[in-house]
């Protein structure tokens, strides 16, 4: 296989997908190369989903710039792509005078970064507005423009929109070698395929340093830094209305408690440097740490409500800032690396910046057919009974509930598959089937039936998330 | 809106028995069963092992055989039923919204019987650290894949939890050619029946590791192994007892949770300890005209008890639909679980229906040589000696007319346990 592109992006996380989508605004032949079988299989599926206001990063850094820019345009992008986004505001809570001083510093830094609406609120305000927080809290920094989103749904939406506008995404393509052939980069996958491209963008997340090295580009190092989380069942009443942070330390923004856009409660993450870049295991110590620290802020937190645990890995660069630049020596090779937090918030702004840079370099014309709009799958759980009735008339499978906890219909699953889902997890991220309190206990076999039918494959070939993650090992008899 | 005298939600053994009993007791025989699955019978359809019906039918049946006997009667009686139909809403006014491929259905019921069964606790719910590869199943999933769909789910397995379901699955996997390396149980005792430990583990040489905990799952794409460790009496891991076991499958059988999302929508009061509705001896919930039975009420180990309980619920549901005035202004005596007792069902005695009933309960720990007493106004009414009591086994005590006649109705009924 050989394909020739103007631009190839390595890595289908939220950053890679944002760049890919923005590139389709131009008349360029673009593709993304991804080692897994779906988008958002790295940090972009396992993070806090917070759209940060921008008071954390040191002024003058790329982090500060793209965070604030990203925050400013986030709502518009989510609107175009039909992705949930709620500007619920955030609080950084302080327990003592020292911490109150930190709030003051954050406030000043935020102002210098251009963050609007920051205010330090006193105890009474905090308890009046967040009655479930600890009575030991003395003050809080309020950032009204902080928000929450669904990180993997955003990545998926960017992907779908990029495809709609003519981009290719090649899955199961693990980049292992990069060569130069005249004006082209030749990018090889582990299984012998290759792609040629005039310009190459490295968005390989935690592996970006290896890719950079393969291209003969700048040597920097990415240290994997893991964060562990709990997800709690959808409560009848949300215990917190805003994102609740603790005062940041040198280890990061600390443990937060927040509603998710889907109505669950998210608690985490801690921060620990780990040896392996792909070690997404949770550990007893890590989980205990998260729980104890979160309990300090919200004493009523209960392990009884936990429905699942997971971890995500931050791509922490040794440069202490996002690396977003063309290599001085290797023309047309652009590193977008070390995109740790606030990378999700920044992704849409980084995408625009890189697309402009690339279009200038390649002298690209505007794609007049570019359509910025993408529509989400119609969800049973979100419609009124009247709308449900209409949908069932059109599509009877909308009346067949497959996931009982999240009320996901067969129609939604078929639609997810039509849009590119091939695995159990990819169906799950697109529809929420299996994300509820029973975690697929009921619907896993049913989702497999539908995948097998729609993709015309035997169930023994269905995987959880590609490669060797098969669910069933052998067919014993025919029914 | 369609109207029914009694609507039963769920068609497991609880739903079927409740529907049949309502039907028998109604003049206007408008009874409807709603089931989201393709077939009637509930979880029994995938329980192909024997061990059902010993008490009720005095013979040993498989799950599908047991269900079939009731399904036949439902069909003979021409009781209406809808399958592949999911109830999504119930209101306190007893309006039901159900959905299927034909559309949305709104149904008004004079009374409703909740029989939605339960769901399984998961790996996440018990907060098991490690990676999240493929090859992790709940017992129910495994049962469905193996017994109904005919697939093998792996080659070497670890089972977590030694209740009856875990034990039965250990045997089932072995019979399917999957090597079960061990059954890991955190408690110092199994909550499964003695009979099952012998027939499902001992007979196949499968080790039962009591006071052991699964502390970590390994593997990137498919499970590659687990780490287990011994625990002390506080269930805390003992350092340096960690052991790696290679396997490609982990099966969790760590408890069931009554499925009460709909009950919450109807505003029904739930009991924190059972996870199901608070009911009186008519199986009436806190919402008038809504009854509950089977695993949605509390988790049962024997289907025979489910059937008996459901029959009572069905009978009273029929009564409510014809004579709702009997259920107006009822006064209750509380039935309270004290020392050693985890919960009791029913939680209340309805003074309008002071009729013999069966009190079911579970103890909160493993007990040897103990006495269960039922007392009222400081007076012991019943005293039963037991050589062994375990939380895994549901206990039943008949409250006879004779005992009821001795009750002081201004005081609670107290169930408690004493060591001897
Ligand atoms: C615990 C945690 C919490 C966070 N919280 C927030 C937050 O609240 N708000 C916020 O703004 N940001 C947050 N972030 C940061 C945010 O998640 C990341 O910045 C963002 O997801 C990075 O996206 P990415 O596309 O660069 O990387 P990724 O999503 O990791 O994508 C990289 C992709 O490259 C692929 N890849 C790697 N190597 C190869 C190869 N050799 N060949 C082909 N493909 C390859 C990977 O499979 C992967 O799909 C958090 C991050 C973590 C880990
Ligand atoms: C592996 C296993 C082994 C067992 N072994 C034995 C044994 O050897 N002997 C024994 O006596 N007992 C055994 N049992 C226990 C026995 O099977 C249960 O106690 C009994 O089946 C519970 O009956 P139920 O009707 O309450 O629930 P279920 O059988 O679970 O039925 C509930 C029904 O409600 C339906 N439903 C739920 N929600 C909705 C909704 N919203 N709309 C429509 N329909 C809905 C479900 O689809 C289901 O069909 C075993 C159970 C298991 C899981």
Pocket test for ligand 1, best of A9, A10, A11 (most atoms within 8 A of CB): A11
Query: Contact A226/A280 with Cβ under 8 angstroms?
Result: yes
Q: What region does A420 belong to: left with phi over 0, alpha with psi -120 to 50, or beta?
A: left
Q: Which two tokens stand for residue B265?
A: 């929508």
Residue nearest to atom 18 of ligand 1 (CA): A343
Q: Measure B148 CA to nearest chain A CA, in Å.
A: 8
pLDDT tens for each residue of A145-196: 999 999 999 999 999 999 999 999 999 999 999 999 999 999 999 999 999 9
Nearest chain B residue to A391, by CA? B103
Q: Which two tokens stand for residue A113?
A: 């970064």
Q: Which two tokens stand for residue A279?
A: 């070690």
Q: How many residues in chain A?
A: 479
Nearest listed ligand to the Cα of residue A245: 1
Helix (H) / strand (E) containing A79: helix A62-81
B157 bridge partner residues: B180, B249
CA distance A122 to A307: 34
Among candidates A307, A389, A477 on the partner chain, residue whose Cβ is nearest the Cβ of B104: A389
Section A13-38 average pLDDT: 98
Nearest listed ligand to the Cα of residue A251: 1
Section A290-306 average pLDDT: 96
CA distance A225 to A202: 20
Q: What region does B318 belong to: left with phi over 0, alpha with psi -120 to 50, or beta?
A: alpha
pLDDT at A479: 60
8-state DSSP, B12: S
* A392 contact residues in B (CB cutoff 8 A): 99, 101-104
What spacing in Å lies between the alpha carbon of A226 and ligand 1's midpoint? 12
Measured CA distances, B412 to A434, B283, B357, B415 (Å): 44, 18, 16, 10
CA distance A298 to A290: 12
pLDDT at B191: 86
pLDDT at A1: 45
Reported ipTM: the value is 0.95
Q: Which two tokens stand for residue A417?
A: 């598959």
Query: Contact B85/B28 with Cβ under 8 angstroms?
Result: no
pLDDT tens for each residue of A351-409: 999 999 999 999 999 999 999 999 999 999 999 999 999 999 999 999 999 999 999 99
The packing angle between helices A14-23 and A343-362, to 10°, is 30
Q: Is the pLDDT of residue A257 over 90?
A: yes
**A154 CB under 6 A from ligand 1?**
no
Nearest listed ligand to the Cα of residue A187: 1
Query: Contact A134/A69 with Cβ under 8 angstroms?
Result: no
Q: Is the pLDDT of residue A253 over 90?
A: no
Measure CA of the first residue to CA of the last residue in chain B; give whole Å.
Answer: 60
Tell me whether residues B141 and A397 touch, CB distance under 8 A: no
Among the residues of A308-423, which ranges form H helices?
343-362, 385-394, 410-418
Residue nearest to atom 27 of ligand 2 (CA): B117
Nearest listed ligand to the Cα of residue A323: 1
Do the bridges between strand A2-10 and strand A30-33 make them parallel or antiparallel, or are there none, so unpaired?
A: parallel
Tell me whether residues A465 and B84 touch, CB distance under 8 A: no
What spacing in Å lies between the alpha carbon of A139 and ligand 2's midpoint? 51
**A268 CB under 6 A from ligand 1?**
no
Structure-derived torsion over alpha carbons of residues B4, B6, B12, B14, reported in degrees to the nearest 10: 180
CA distance B61 to B53: 6
Which of A140, A14, A7 has its CA nearest to residue A70? A14
Nearest chain A residue to B105, by CA? A389
Q: Measure A263 CA to nearest chain B CA, in Å.
A: 15
CA distance A278 to A267: 22
Section B196-218 average pLDDT: 97
Q: Measure A395 CA to nearest chain B CA, in Å.
A: 8
Q: How many CB pairs under 8 A join A and B?
A: 140
The average confidence (pLDDT) of chain A is 96
Q: What percent of chain A has pLDDT over 70?
A: 99
CA distance B347 to B359: 9
CA distance B392 to B374: 21
Q: Which residue has the tokens 């850094």?
A: A61
Query: Contact B349/B364 with Cβ under 8 angstroms?
Result: no
Q: Which two tokens stand for residue B228?
A: 């287990």
Q: Is the pLDDT of residue A302 over 80?
A: yes
What spacing in Å lies between the alpha carbon of A14 and ligand 1's midpoint? 7
**A13 CB under 6 A from ligand 1?**
yes
Complete edge-to-edge strand list for the sheet that includes strand B332-337 = B348-350, B332-337, B413-419, B367-376, B379-389
* B36 contact residues in A (CB cutoff 8 A): 401, 404
Say how many C-beta atoms besides its own lie within 10 A of residue A128's C-beta: 10
Q: Measure A376 CA to nearest chain B CA, in Å.
A: 22
Tell me whether residues B150 and A476 touch, CB distance under 8 A: yes
Measured CA distances, A355 to A7, A23, A333, A337 (Å): 10, 5, 13, 16
CB-based burial, A38-49: b 16+ in 10 Å, e otherwise: bbbbbbbbbbbb
- What value does the CA radius of gyration of chain A take, rounded to a whole number of Å? 22
CA distance B106 to B79: 19
Among candidates B101, B148, B152 on the partner chain, residue whose Cβ is nearest the Cβ of A474: B152
Q: Which residues of A are catalytic?
A: 52
CA distance A416 to B165: 34
8-state DSSP, B102: T
CA distance B51 to B373: 30
Which of B36, B43, B31 has its CA nearest to residue B7? B31
What spacing in Å lies between the alpha carbon of B63 and ligand 2's midpoint? 10
Section A284-307 average pLDDT: 96
**Dihedrals phi, psi of A51, to nearest 5 degrees:** -95, 100
Say how many C-beta atoms besides its own lie within 10 A of residue B49's C-beta: 18
Section A317-325 average pLDDT: 97
CA distance A314 to B47: 45
Structure-derived torsion over alpha carbons of residues A291, A295, A299, A305, reported in degrees to the nearest 10: -20
* B145 contact residues in A (CB cutoff 8 A): 445, 472
Atom in ligand 2 nearest the alpha carbon of residue B256: 53
Tell me whether residues B127 and A283 touch, CB distance under 8 A: no
pLDDT tens for each residue of B107-162: 999 999 999 999 999 999 999 999 999 999 999 999 999 999 999 999 999 999 99
Section B335-355 average pLDDT: 96
Section B411-420 average pLDDT: 94
CA distance A216 to A210: 10
* A307 contact residues in B (CB cutoff 8 A): 122, 124-125
Among candidates B97, B131, B176 on the partner chain, residue whose Cβ is nearest the Cβ of A385: B97
Tell me whether residues B134 and A470 touch, CB distance under 8 A: yes
Q: Measure A184 CA to nearest chain B CA, in Å.
A: 34
Among candidates B124, B150, B154 on the partner chain, residue whose Cβ is nearest the Cβ of A439: B124
Query: Contact A238/A298 with Cβ under 8 angstroms?
Result: no
CA distance B268 to B277: 7
Q: Is the pLDDT of residue A2 over 60?
A: no
The average confidence (pLDDT) of chain B is 96
Residues 6+ apart with CB under 8 A from B224: B133, B218, B246, B247, B248
* A468 contact residues in B (CB cutoff 8 A): 221-222
Nearest chain B residue to A465, by CA? B221
CA distance A143 to B193: 57
Q: Which two tokens stand for residue B55?
A: 């008490």
* A473 contact residues in B (CB cutoff 8 A): 151-155, 248
Q: Which of A35, A441, A463 to mutate to test the interface with B (most CBs of B within 10 A)?
A: A441
pLDDT at A199: 98
Say how many C-beta atoms besides its own lie within 10 A of residue B369's C-beta: 11
Section B14-38 average pLDDT: 97
What spacing in Å lies between the alpha carbon of A418 and ligand 1's midpoint? 25
Q: How open is the CA angle A95-A98-A99, to the nearest 5 degrees? A: 45
Query: Contact B416/B370 with Cβ under 8 angstroms?
Result: no
Tell me whether residues B104 and A385 touch, CB distance under 8 A: yes
Which of A249, A286, A248 has its CA nearest to residue A269? A286
Nearest chain A residue to B222, by CA? A469
* A389 contact residues in B (CB cutoff 8 A): 103-104
CA distance A430 to A437: 17
Q: Which of B222, B226, B270 to mutate to test the interface with A (most CBs of A within 10 A)?
A: B222
Residues in the ligand 2 pocket, defined by CB under 6 Å: B 9-15, 34-37, 42-44, 47, 51-52, 86-87, 115-117, 139-140, 143, 164-165, 168, 259, 262, 294-296, 300, 302-304, 306
Using the Cα atoms of residue B232, residue B234, residue B237 and residue B243 in order, give the sign of their dihedral.
positive
**A10 CB under 6 A from ligand 1?**
yes
Q: Measure B113 CA to nearest chain A CA, in Å.
A: 19
Nearest listed ligand to the Cα of residue B303: 2
Tell me whether residues B127 and A287 touch, CB distance under 8 A: yes
* B225 contact residues in A (CB cutoff 8 A): none
Residues 6+ apart with CB under 8 A from A210: A204
């Amino acid at each position: 296989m050989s394909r020739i592109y103007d631009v190839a992006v390595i890595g289908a996380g939220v950053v890679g997908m944002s760049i890919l989508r923005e590139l389709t605004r131009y008349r360029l032949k673009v593709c993304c190369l991804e080692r897994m079988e779906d988008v958002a299989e790295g940090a972009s599926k396992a993070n806090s989903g917070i759209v940060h206001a921008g008071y954390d990063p040191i002024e003058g850094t790329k982090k500060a710039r793209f965070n604030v820019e990203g925050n400013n345009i986030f709502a518009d992008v989510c609107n175009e792509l039909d992705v949930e986004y709620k500007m619920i505001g955030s609080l950084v809570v302080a327990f003592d005078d020292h911490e109150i001083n930190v709030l003051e510093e954050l406030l000043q830094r935020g102002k210098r970064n251009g963050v609007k609406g920051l205010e330090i609120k006193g105890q009474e305000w905090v308890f009046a507005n967040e009655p479930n927080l600890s009575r030991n809290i003395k003050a809080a920094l309020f950032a009204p423009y902080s928000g929450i989103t669904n990180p993997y749904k955003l990545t998926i939406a960017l992907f779908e929109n990029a495809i709609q506008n003519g981009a290719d995404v090649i899955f199961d393509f693990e980049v292992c070698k990069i060569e130069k052939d005249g004006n082209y980069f030749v990018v090889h996958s582990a299984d012998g395929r290759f792609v040629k491209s005039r310009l190459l963008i490295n968005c390989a997340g935690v592996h970006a340093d290896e890719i950079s090295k393969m291209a003969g580009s700048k040597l920097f190092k990415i240290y994997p830094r893991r964060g562990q989380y709990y997800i709690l069942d959808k409560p009848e009443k949300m215990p917190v209305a805003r994102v609740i942070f603790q005062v940041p330390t040198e280890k990061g923004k600390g443990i937060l408690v927040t509603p998710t856009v889907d109505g669950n409660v998210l608690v985490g993450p801690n921060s620990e440097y780990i040896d392996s870049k792909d070690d997404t295991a949770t550990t007893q110590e890590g989980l205990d740490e998260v729980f104890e620290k979160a309990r300090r802020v919200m004493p009523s937190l209960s392990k009884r409500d936990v429905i699942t645990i997971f971890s995500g890995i931050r791509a922490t660069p040794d440069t202490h800032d996002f690396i977003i630049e063309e290599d001085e020596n290797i023309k047309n090779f652009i590193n977008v690396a070390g995109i740790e937090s606030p990378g999700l918030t920044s992704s849409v702004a980084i995408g625009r910046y890189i697309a402009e840079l690339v279009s200038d370099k390649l002298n690209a014309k505007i794609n007049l057919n570019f359509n910025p709009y993408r529509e989400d799958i119609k969800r049973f759980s979100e419609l009124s009974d009247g709308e449900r009735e209409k949908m069932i008339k059109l599509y009877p499978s909308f009346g067949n509930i497959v996931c009982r906890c999240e009320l996901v219909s067969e129609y939604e699953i078929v639609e997810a598959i039509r849009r590119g889902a091939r695995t159990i997890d990819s169906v799950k991220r697109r529809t929420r089937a299996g994300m509820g309190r029973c975690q697929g206990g009921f619907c896993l076999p049913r989702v497999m039936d539908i995948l097998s039918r729609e993709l015309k494959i035997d169930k023994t070939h269905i995987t959880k998330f590609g490669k060797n993650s098969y669910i069933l090992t052998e067919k014993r008899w025919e029914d | 809106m369609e109207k029914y005298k009694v609507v039963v939600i769920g068609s497991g053994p609880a739903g079927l028995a409740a529907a049949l009993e309502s039907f028998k007791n109604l003049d206007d025989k408008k009874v409807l069963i709603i089931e989201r699955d393709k077939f009637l019978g509930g979880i029994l359809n995938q329980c192909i092992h024997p061990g059902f019906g010993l008490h009720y039918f005095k013979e040993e049946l498989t799950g599908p055989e047991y269900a079939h006997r009731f399904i036949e009667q439902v069909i003979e009686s021409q009781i209406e039923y809808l399958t592949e139909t999911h109830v999504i809403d119930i209101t306190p006014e007893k309006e039901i919204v159900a959905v299927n491929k034909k559309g949305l259905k709104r149904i008004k019921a004079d009374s409703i019987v909740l029989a939605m069964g339960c769901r399984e606790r998961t790996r996440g719910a018990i907060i098991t650290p490690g990676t999240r590869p493929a090859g992790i199943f709940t017992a129910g999933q495994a049962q469905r894949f193996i017994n109904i769909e005919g697939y093998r789910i792996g080659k070497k397995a670890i089972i977590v939890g030694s209740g009856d379901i875990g034990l039965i699955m250990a045997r089932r996997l072995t019979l399917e050619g999957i090597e079960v390396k061990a059954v890991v149980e955190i408690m110092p005792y199994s909550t499964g029946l003695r009979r099952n430990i012998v027939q499902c583990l001992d007979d196949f040489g499968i080790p039962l590791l009591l006071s052991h905990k699964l502390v970590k799952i390994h593997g990137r794409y498919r499970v590659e192994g687990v780490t287990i460790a011994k625990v002390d009496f506080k269930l805390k891991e003992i350092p340096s007892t960690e052991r790696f076991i290679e396997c490609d499958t982990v099966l969790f059988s760590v408890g069931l949770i009554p499925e009460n999302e709909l009950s919450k929508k109807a505003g029904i009061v739930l009991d924190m300890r059972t996870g199901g509705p608070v009911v009186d001896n008519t199986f009436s919930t806190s919402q008038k005209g809504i009854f509950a039975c089977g695993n949605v009420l509390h988790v049962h180990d024997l289907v025979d008890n489910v059937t008996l309980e459901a029959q009572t619920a069905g009978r009273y549901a029929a009564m409510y639909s014809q004579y709702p005035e009997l259920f107006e202004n009822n006064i209750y005596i509380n039935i309270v679980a004290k020392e050693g007792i985890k919960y009791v069902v029913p939680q209340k005695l309805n003074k309008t229906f002071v009729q013999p009933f069966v009190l079911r309960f579970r103890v909160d720990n493993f007990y040897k040589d103990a006495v269960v007493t039922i007392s009222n106004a400081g007076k012991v009414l019943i005293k039963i000696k037991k050589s062994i009591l375990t939380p895994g086994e549901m206990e039943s005590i008949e409250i006879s007319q004779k005992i009821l006649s001795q009750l002081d109705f201004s005081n609670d009924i107290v169930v408690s346990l004493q060591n001897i």
